[in-house]
Amino acid sequence: MQSSSIYPLANPKGVRLGCEMCQATAHVMCSRCRVTFYCDVMHQEADWNGIHEKICQLLIPVRTPLPFLSSSKEREHCKEQLVQRQKHLIDLTRTVAQKLLFEGKHELAIPGALQSLRFVMALYGPHSAELVASQLLLAEASIGLWRLDEAEEYLAQAQWVVMKTTECVTTIQYKLYRTLGLLYTAKCDYDKALWYFADDIYHVTEVFGVSDIHTAGGYFHMANVFFKQEKMDIADSMYSEVTNIWKTFLGELVETEIQRSLWKAGISSPEPGTNLVDLEDVFDGAKEAEAVKVLHAIFNLRNQELLVKNGKIGSIAHTLAMLYYLLLDFNKAVEYGILALEDNEMVVHNEKEIATIRRLLDMAKKALSYPGGKGPSPSDWANSC
């Protein structure tokens, strides 16, 4: 928490400062950025822990009046810089809020979601389709806190924007249907929940395809509903599909990182036109948190033998091993890699899979042998391949 607060007593006459969290009259100011206000210290602490610590200094140029510039070119450049800063803050606050939601920290997700909503309204206006993503984050946080009435209000606002705005394309609609599915799951209205999750999958498939991690989220939530209904065969099949999607996605990322290290070490050269994407561009903090949540949920169900275990625990364990390898948690990569190898050697007998797991284990163990367990240099890493 920041070290101190000061009270904004020297406000211009007639100016009312609103609390970041509730818009009530503010009495406390952030002593670091000096452009953020709160009704009390409790709301200041909630905002700090949820998002403000990450954006405190970024708010200063956004909330400080633009300087007077005589040149129209300079003024336009200054305005464009402001727009870019606002867009960055929208992306950052949404990503942080979504990550916290995947981690089950619903209360902490609210400040980031609120900030993203305010930045969107300031940049795009009160009727833009851009509002929907932020409204859905607030709805999901409310569902997690069992404030279902609040969730319904946010969802109603999002539905209104979707209906009234021609900008609302499939990429936004599927998120709306998914959140509605979560609401009705919380209400134990499983038929309605399944209907919305089916709509979610239909729309997300149109954009990303049937085997994308965006689609896997809809399959996962639908599988959870079938599990609650004790329709185990259907749930098992859908959890397996989710595992396979993440396994393919993470496997491709692992191979990409291997190729990148080979190039850096001078062991091989890229083919003309090859452009390896950066890990951070396709696997941000929110996606990492989603992978951890979803894959552990499936692993626990199989490990506790609530679903089929033999022959399937190896696949989910292999997927978790790759995930933790990419997250540089090599201890966990080894732990789950060993489980995956045992299941494949005893039950599945897939030689190609066994060879892939062994290579991953070798790389993770080699990484652990280096000081601090941070992994080898690119040349050492490449030699282990």
Q: Are residues 59 and 82 in the same domain?
A: no
Among 203-217, 341-355, 358-372, the range of highest mean pLDDT: 203-217
Instruction: Determine the pLDDT at residue 378.
Output: 43
User: Which domain CATH number covers 166?
Assistant: 1.25.40.10
In a domain, 100, yes or no: yes
Q: Are residues 162 and 190 in the same domain?
A: yes
Task: Name residues whose C-beta falls within 8 Å of residue 303's C-beta, 6 or more positions apart in sequence.
Answer: 309, 313
In a domain, 82, yes or no: yes
Last residue of a domain, one of 48, 65, 82: 65
Stretch among 71-75, 101-105, 177-181 having the lowest mean pLDDT: 71-75
Q: Are residues 191 and 248 in the same domain?
A: no
Question: What share of the chain has pLDDT > 70, as a percent?
Answer: 88
Model confidence pLDDT, tens digit, residues 318-335: 999 999 999 999 999 999
pLDDT for 275 beyond 70: no
In a domain, 215, yes or no: no
Is 231 in a helix, a strand, or coil?
Answer: coil
Instruction: Determine the pLDDT at residue 191.
Output: 97
In a domain, 42, yes or no: yes
Residue whose structure tokens are 């997927």: 319
Q: Are residues 18 and 85 in the same domain?
A: no
What range defines the domain where residue 198 resides?
67-208
Question: How far, in Å, CA of 191 to CA of 185, rounded?
Answer: 9
Model confidence pLDDT, tens digit, residues 45-65: 999 999 999 999 999 999 988
Q: Are residues 39 and 108 in the same domain?
A: no
Mean pLDDT of the chain: 89
Q: Are residues 132 and 149 in the same domain?
A: yes
Residue whose structure tokens are 């609609």: 173
Q: What's the average model confidence in pLDDT over 94-104? A: 97
Rounded (5°) CA angle 106-109-110: 100
Q: What is the number of structural domains in the chain?
A: 3
Instruction: Classify residue 47 by burial, with Cβ atoms within 10 Å: 0-12, 13-18, 19+.
Output: buried
Question: How far, in Å, CA of 293 to CA of 361, rounded?
Answer: 23
Question: Which residues lie across from 6 on neighbouring strands?
Answer: 29
Q: Are residues 257 and 355 in the same domain?
A: yes
- Give whole-number Cα distances, 198 to 158, 162, 177, in Å: 19, 18, 9
Q: Are residues 99 and 158 in the same domain?
A: yes
In a domain, 307, yes or no: yes
pLDDT for 3 beyond 50: no
pTM of the shown model: 0.88
Res. 256 pLDDT band, cuts 50 70 90: confident
Res. 348 pLDDT band, cuts 50 70 90: confident
Looking at residue 23, the DSSP 8-state letter turns out to be -
Q: Are residues 194 and 314 in the same domain?
A: no
Instruction: Determine the pLDDT at residue 9.
Output: 40
Last residue of a domain, one of 65, 96, 115: 65
CA 312 to chain CA centroid, Å, is 26
Last residue of a domain, one of 65, 95, 116: 65
Model confidence pLDDT, tens digit, residues 109-162: 999 999 999 999 999 998 888 999 999 999 999 999 999 999 999 999 999 988
Q: Are residues 122 and 48 in the same domain?
A: no
Task: Name residues whose C-beta falls within 8 Å of residue 214's C-beta, 6 or more positions apart in sequence.
Answer: 174, 204, 207, 208
Instruction: Determine the pLDDT at residue 1.
Output: 47
Residue whose structure tokens are 């900008």: 167
Question: How far, in Å, CA of 27 to CA of 34, rounded?
Answer: 13
